Amino acid sequence: MAILLLCATFVFAGQPDKRLYSIAFYNLENLFDTIHDSGKNDAEFLPDGSYRWTTERYECKLKNMAKVLGELSRDRVPQGPALIGVAEVENSRVLTDLVAQPPISNYKFIHYEGPDKRGIDCALLYDPQQFSITASKLVLSTPFQGDTTHLTRGFLIVDGRMAGERVCVIVNHWPSRGGESPVRVHAALQVKALKDSLLTQDKHLKLIIMGDLNDDPMDESLQALGARKYAKKVGKREFYNPWWETLQDKGVGTLLYRGKWNLFDQILISRPLLKAKKGLCYDHNEVFMRDYLIQQDGRYKGSPLRTFGGREWLNGYSDHLPTIIYLRER
């Protein structure tokens, strides 16, 4: 009887494992510059806007984001993640400024300007020493029953080579909780169609779906996509969702709302990454949680430390925590 197994991990303490790679996702929470983008509703994040978004505050935000991104997985993978999906970036200008920061100056990025009314997009940062791009595109979403208010931000598909083999990533930011569950199910079904097309072309494709999905792993949208809690129950065109156990069994999430942890920031793993006899294989996952990312006092004690509390500038990071998966080269 065939049994689906995850790669075993054998690492000597204190020694970096050269066969280990990492991939991360982080919602940067409103990474806006101080310049108005024509046609976008970005007035809040201008120097005379309600957030008083000055050059000084923008530069602090860049520094803070780079600090976090520059620390992701470095304790296990010294070179850092090969790929980092990000959400809530305004444009290519902010990404150019971001990857110019010393902690992450080894990264380049893929970004397409999307139709979001506020101007926030997804992007993919990549380390060219670990990942080479072969193709990329932004697939625009369709509205659910004509609802143009609660749109997803488009699906960023990036294809490339990592550790000598093809790896494909789809970066997402699904509609907010301001919309009901069906709008996110609709987003999930669009991603399902994209992944089915990719897997029809290459049934052995090592495909990763990541993003701020605005739903928890056990919610209807993730079931519509075919994301399963247990690796051994993943079908041929389904995905393993390790974050289901992380949230439901361990009580660990990425954002706190009314005293309850949610885990919207997920990285899903296709079946070929679970049962690979050679090449890259899923190893383990982690919510990147550090004391400096958590508010230590006040009304929101215990929550991720944001840039603003209401309209008060806290000089924090994001209302989300980053997530990481680790892949092992067999």
* Residues 6+ positions from 219 with CB-CB distance below 8 Å: 181, 184
Domain locations along the chain: 20-133+211-329
Predicted local distance difference test score (pLDDT) of residue 277: 83
Q: Which of the four pLDDT bands, split at 50, 70 and 90, describes residue 319?
A: very high
Looking at domain 20-133+211-329, its CATH architecture is 4-Layer Sandwich (3.60)
Least confident of 6-20, 61-75, 298-312: 6-20
Least confident of 16-20, 87-91, 204-208, 223-227: 16-20
d(CA 231, CA 240): 6
Predicted local distance difference test score (pLDDT) of residue 1: 38
Predicted local distance difference test score (pLDDT) of residue 209: 98
Q: Where are the alpha helices (DSSP H) in the chain?
A: 55-71, 92-99, 181-201, 220-225, 243-248
Predicted local distance difference test score (pLDDT) of residue 188: 98
Q: Which of the four pLDDT bands, split at 50, 70 and 90, describes residue 279?
A: very high
What is the DSSP secondary structure assignment for residue 144, as one 8-state letter?
B
Predicted local distance difference test score (pLDDT) of residue 9: 42
Predicted local distance difference test score (pLDDT) of residue 317: 98
Element (H, E) at 28: strand 20-31
d(CA 89, CA 67): 16
**Is the distance from CB of 81 to CB of 129 less than 8 angstroms?**
no
Question: pLDDT by residue (tens digit) across 6-52?
Answer: 454 444 445 667 799 999 999 999 999 999 999 999 999 999 999 99
Q: Which of the four pLDDT bands, split at 50, 70 and 90, describes residue 275?
A: confident
What is the DSSP secondary structure assignment for residue 97, as one 8-state letter?
H
Tokens standing for 196?
């089915």
Q: Which of the four pLDDT bands, split at 50, 70 and 90, describes residue 2?
A: very low
Tokens standing for 249?
């069994």
d(CA 228, CA 21): 23
- pLDDT (mean) for 54-58: 98
Query: Percent of the chain scored above 70 by pLDDT?
Result: 95
**Nearest to residue 44, comparing CAs of 95, 156, 115, 120?**
120
Question: pLDDT by residue (tens digit) across 184-215?
Answer: 999 999 999 999 999 999 999 999 999 999 99
3-state secondary structure of 103: helix
Predicted local distance difference test score (pLDDT) of residue 15: 60
